[in-house]
Structure 1
């Protein structure tokens, strides 16, 4: 057990104060916004994964959210509601890079990552769960790749990981409809590996992480690298294409209508332009 640099209590992403059994827990910490991501939260999450990857004491990572949600995706009001669909507001934003750097930080982390999905995983919240190597869901968890409902496409996770986990046809159904599914359905189709009672979720996640962290770390990292190569290939090419596509769609009228209808709590009217 080793003390870590304290994280400011107002931080949107907590990495805890103690590294226990070589397992680091990353917790999204905007519960009042259902852990929705704004630019600052994206930056903090990227930094947390990069730091975990660089720390030789970290052998396994758990990513979760502060109850009641895992991650409800992009903060619509802060990211999507501005000019150019909001997504292009920052000159240094993820949309102006070859691939989403937060996604790449999660995908390129050499340590095994477990997603403990404690509640709703919506939009980029599903993507975050997909970036993990293993997923344990609370019985209260729900999942939706709802990008299509905002007139957008998904990030690299939906293209790179989802079809390999649930099959191409089921992935197409989830992406094209944006349907919401519960934990039982997620388990049935292979989106998650197990479902736990909500009160036992973190106990099960930590037990699994401890078993992984107890093995030789270099061998575990080599196994992870081999699995990624054999099952998924290189995510950067598809990640760059995904960012280009999101950037284009963010400037459409349908995207603006998807955001406006959400904020105004009404049914959208899409026009294909």
Structure 2
């Protein structure tokens, strides 16, 4: 697997791939190159069935302090009509969609600031574990921009609920790990210093699950599950049941011997 990304540090440990945003001097802010690297990696993972868990983390003191707004003036100067900015926004949508649709289970390992685009990347992961240092914020309205990055708003509403997201967006208030867990933005909070051990433990647990069953379950939990639950891939489901039946018969034969 390719590991020579400009803005990511990638480490493979058996079936678990750790992907670290690696711009600590910039608070791991998401710029165009980060999006290019993430999209290339996620596309490669679509074909890599050996990777069962992807852990998304951030180098340095923070997971991610949001989108890198410093590149916006350069993009506007390059293309005053806004085409370059629209291309950047479209790339963010593709990254978030690829993250949500990945067959492997994704775990966001969160610490420090988780702001704006950083919260967007995190919320598109299947599981989110953070330590008590986490500070979250959705600053878009305060910055006079709509919450459109990566198509995050519908996902946030699904995860945290419309009333909660409305308040967080309209006030742009910071909230801590305890409140994030209450809002279902975090699934679990651990003390500072225990984050790596807990994420590793969860990753190993999930990696032992049958991949076909995991993929079916992820589809059933997707945003449009109420429309597609009856149209899931019957071959995968039948294969899973067949494996279970074969296993039961094998155990019965061994018991008879």
- Residue 95 and residue 167 in structure 1: after superposition, are their counterparts in 2 closer, same or farther (change >3 A)? closer
Calculate the aligned-residue CA RMSD, in Å.
2.6
1:42 aligns with 2:42: no
Residue 198 (structure 2) pairs with residue 204 (structure 1): yes
Change (3 A) 1:220 1:151: same
**Per the alignment, in what secondary structure is the counterpart of residue 54 of structure 1?**
coil
Does 1:57 find its partner at 2:50?
yes
2:124 touches 2:155 (CA, 8 Å); kept in 1?
yes
CA contact (8 A) 1:137 1:183 kept: yes
Unaligned runs of 5+ in 2: 229-257
1:239 equivalent in structure 2:
none
Structure 1 residues not aligned, in runs of 5+: 235-273
* 1:206-245 aligned within 5 A: 206-229=200-223
Instruction: State TM-score, norm by structure 1.
Output: 0.75
Please list, as runs of the form range in 1=range in 2, the aligned pairs for 1:1-273 lying within 5 A after superposition. Answer: 4-7=1-4, 11-16=6-11, 19-79=12-72, 83=76, 88=82, 90=84, 93-95=87-89, 100-154=93-147, 155-156=149-150, 158-229=152-223
Deviant stretches of 4+, over 4 Å: 84-87, 229-234
- CA separation of 1:168/1:229 partners in 2, compared to 1, >3 Å: closer, same or farther? closer
What SS class does the counterpart of residue 222 from structure 2 fall into? helix
**Once the two structures are superposed, what CA deviation does each residue of 1:113-156 show, in whole Å capped at 9, x if it has no partner?**
11011221111001011100110011111111111122112235
Task: Kindly indicate whether the alpha-carbon contact (under 8 Å) linking 1:53 and 1:110 is maintained by their aligned counterparts in 2.
Answer: yes
TM-score, normalising length: structure 2: 0.79
Radius of gyration: which is bigger?
2
Q: Secondary structure at the match of 1:137?
A: strand
Q: Is the 8 A contact 2:95 2:150 kept in 1?
A: no
Residue correspondences, number: 226
**1:96–1:201 distance in 2 versus 1, CA, 3 Å:** closer
Could you tell me whether the CA contact under 8 Å between 2:89 and 2:150 is conserved in 1?
Answer: no
